[in-house]
Amino acid sequence: MPGLILNRLIFRELVKVFLMSLITVTGLLVIVPVYQEASRMGLSLEQVLEAIPLTIPNMLPYTIPATTLFAACVVYGRLAHDNEVVAIKAAGVHLLVILRPALVLGVINTVVTAALYHTVIPRSQQILYQRLLDDPEELLYNLLRRDRCLRHPQMPYVIYVRDVEGRRLLDVVVKRRNRVVDPQTRQEFYFGYDVVARAREARLRFDPSDGKLYLDPDRFVLYDKHTTGATDPTGPFQMDLPEGWNGRDRVRTSALTWEELPQRIADLEEQIAAKLRQRQQLWEQIEQIPDPAAREALRIRAREEERHYDYQLQHLTRQLRNTQAELHQRPALAFGCLIFALLGCPVGIWAHRADYLSVFVICFLPALLVYYPLQLTGTGLGRDGKLPMPLACWLANIVVGLGAVLLNWRLLRR
């Protein structure tokens, strides 16, 4: 009975510190991605306020483990600072009893984080991008009002304006970027400009049926390397919106639900296998040609096609590894809550501090500087194929978890 009362008191303090730190840290971290996304896409204040509630779930898998560690360090640091740990041992109560509340908090937070990763976070990301891209025209007008320029690395045109009045673009300059193909990788990129068009006034129009952006000018004056002339007042200027702007792109890996991840992996593996079969069939067809001269000529062309296949296979393999990393990283980050709860108990007791600042500097900050760099490094090595994906994504949990078990073992032997 005394042990049960003691566990309730400790658990109550853990929950109090955990919730307070969780709200504070999550609130601070949400501001950064929302500000970055608002700056990149030119969001209005209303859109920013709508995005904040949908961004909060994305931060929780990172803030819940960290604040679990912080709560354990603070509460058990207070117990040690007030000599309550000594009193508990003097009363004949084993230290394992006071570790149970932290273990319960770690298990609860692990389950909550896993549930968030299962459905809540992917769905919130899908809803967020659907809302942001529901009216691409408004986003584009906001960008032009703010920057007087519309530029994107994947967009074949750059648009400059002198001013924006409502839906009217004044003194519009459109530059078409020169498309260049790398002869080795077959990868396309843009370099310089080949056509420049200017209009006194124009309007933007987005057609959701084909995902195209249309610029309706009063009249364009065109300049290129060879000619200069004016167009008729009729006829819009058609442009393709880049990936992530037209609302018709493929879903991001982080926005896939838990059930969708294995299907995505299976689809990518099938696409890779299909590309390999196509390449093999190409060479088999060449070898069946009886004429040696024609066969040799086709071999030379096939070697050029090899580079194209290699580039496609590299792209698909990179997507596959990113999806596999997502599949392993989600449970790994969720399990980190339990590891941090176990780590915070012995570290807090040995730190023997009761104030927040000392706990942050001595306990909380060093643990995070070990765990998250290991997590990022391991995941990066897994995506590069240098480590098996399960080991890469669980590397931080293995290292920090062994350290937590060792510290608890030494604490219980005292």
Domain positions in the chain are 2-133+327-413, 136-240, 253-320
Give 279's contacts (C-beta < 8 A, 6+ positions apart): 305, 306, 309
Cβ–Cβ < 8 Å for 395, 378: yes
Cβ–Cβ < 8 Å for 136, 213: yes
pTM: 0.71
Cβ–Cβ < 8 Å for 231, 91: no
Phi, psi of 158 (to 5 degrees): -120, 130
Q: Dump pLDDT digits (tens) for 139-197.
A: 778 778 877 888 776 677 888 888 888 888 888 888 877 765 555 555 555 566 777 88
Contacts 24+ apart (CB under 8 A), 188-197: 190/153, 190/156, 193/158, 194/224, 194/225, 195/222, 195/223, 195/224, 196/222, 196/223, 196/224, 197/173, 197/221, 197/222, 197/223, 197/231, 197/237
Q: Which residues pair with 176 in a beta bridge?
A: 157, 195
Q: Dump pLDDT digits (tens) for 80-108.
A: 888 887 787 777 777 788 889 999 999 99
Contacts 24+ apart (CB under 8 A), 1-9: 2/91, 2/93, 3/93, 3/97, 6/88, 6/93, 6/97, 6/98, 7/97, 7/98, 7/100, 7/101
**What count of other Cβ atoms lies within 10 Å of the Cβ of residue 91?**
9
Q: Dump pLDDT digits (tens) for 294-309.
A: 777 777 777 767 777 7
Stretch (H or E) spanning 149: strand 149-150
Q: Dump pLDDT digits (tens) for 368-401.
A: 788 888 999 999 999 888 889 999 999 999 999 9
Cβ–Cβ < 8 Å for 121, 251: no
Catalogue the E-assigned strands of 235-290. 237-240
> Does the pLDDT at position 249 exceed 50?
no
Cβ–Cβ < 8 Å for 82, 74: no
Q: Give the total residue count for the chain.
A: 414
Band (pLDDT 50/70/90 cuts) for residue 402 is very high
In the structure encoding, which two tokens stand for residue 406, read together? 């060792």
